[in-house]
Chains A and B, each alone.
Chain A
Amino acid sequence: MIPFFAKIGLRSLRGMGFRLWIPLFLIWLLLVPIVLLLLPLMFVLWWALQVNPFRALSACWQILSGLSRTHVEVEHDHGSILIHIV
């Protein structure tokens, strides 16, 4: 399943910070027409590079799906950053 939300948190040196929920599904929806438009171009590019386009598409999809539940958190005196993909 591709990720639907991303949570991004930032905290600065002075303790000010925010947490942002990014609705990725809206981004995917916006990207779908662009991807569809670019797909023929990508097929030509993959063909030129002698890469199986279906395998490439499958790998891209798997990377997108694999991003789910990725968690990166770094804390430091100067601030902190949190990225959590749901």
Chain B
Amino acid sequence: MSENRRQILEMLSSGQITADEAERLIAALEKGQPASAAADESHPKTNVKYLRVLVDSEETGKDHGPVKVNVRVPIQLLRAGVRLAGLIPARARDKVNEAFHRQGMEFDVNQIKPENLEELVEQLNDLTVDVDADDGDRNGKVKVRVFCE
């Protein structure tokens, strides 16, 4: 039990405040205190630093050889990109949304907000995409790995 709560209960027991007043004080205490704690819980610090994309194509054709791609993008860059997206003027955002819609992508640029950023990064923490596929008419396999580290 916190010190403040104990004090309120003592004041109630000694008759300094009424039960209603005590209830209001405790409610105010709960409202004020866990705001930061709840924020910390909902947005825990992620230790993800990079988004990695690895592609390993083992195709062996006439004009094609094996391809290896290794990309490491700092999460900080993604954060900055999202912040930059937040600066796009409203009219331009509408045009971007229209262009997405024309391409068949129901994506709303307005939803890219700095508030959602930490949540996005947090979700990236658990992201691992593994694609292991035969490369169609060409001979060989393609392995794609997308993950955070």
Interface residues of A (CB under 8 A from B): 49-52, 55-56, 58-60, 62-63, 65-78
The reply on B89 being an interface residue by CB < 8 A is: yes
- Stretch of B5-13, B73-81, B96-104, B125-133 contacting A (4+ beta carbons < 8 Å): B73-81
Interface contact B50-A72, CB-CB below 8 Å:
no
Q: How far is the CA of A66 from the CA of B81 in the complex (A)?
A: 9
| Residues of chain A within 8 A of B64, CB atoms compared | 77
Q: Whole-angstrom distance from the CB of A40 to the nearest CB of chain B? A: 19
Interface contact B84-A70, CB-CB below 8 Å:
no
Assuming the A-B contacts A73-B70, A73-B71, are A67 and B77 also in contact, with contact meaning beta carbons closer than 8 angstroms in the complex?
Answer: yes
| Residues of chain A within 8 A of B70, CB atoms compared | 71-74
| Residues of chain A within 8 A of B71, CB atoms compared | 71-73
The reply on B72 being an interface residue by CB < 8 A is: yes
Main secondary structure of the interface of A (DSSP, over half): mixed
Interface residues of B (CB under 8 A from A): 50, 64-74, 76-81, 83-84, 86-87, 89
Further 12 A-B residue pairs, CB within 8 A, beyond A59-B87, A67-B74: A49-B89, A55-B87, A59-B80, A66-B79, A68-B76, A69-B74, A72-B70, A72-B72, A73-B71, A74-B70, A77-B64, A78-B65
| Residues of chain A within 8 A of B81, CB atoms compared | 63, 66
Interface contact B77-A63, CB-CB below 8 Å:
yes
Interface contact A73-B89, CB-CB below 8 Å:
no
Q: Whole-angstrom distance from the CB of B86 to the nearest CB of chain A? A: 8
Q: How far is the CA of A49 from the CA of B91 in the complex (A)?
A: 10
Interface contact A71-B72, CB-CB below 8 Å:
yes
Which chain B residue shows the least CB distance to A83? Answer: B71
Which chain A residue shows the least CB distance to B75? Answer: A66
| Residues of chain A within 8 A of B84, CB atoms compared | 59-60, 63
* A–B Cβ pairs within 8 angstroms, 29 of them: A56-B87, A58-B83, A59-B80, A59-B83, A59-B84, A62-B76, A62-B79, A62-B83, A65-B80, A66-B77, A66-B80, A66-B81, A67-B74, A67-B77, A69-B50, A71-B70, A72-B72, A73-B68, A73-B69, A73-B71, A74-B67, A75-B67, A75-B68, A75-B69, A76-B65, A76-B66, A77-B64, A77-B66, A78-B65
Interface contact B87-A77, CB-CB below 8 Å:
no
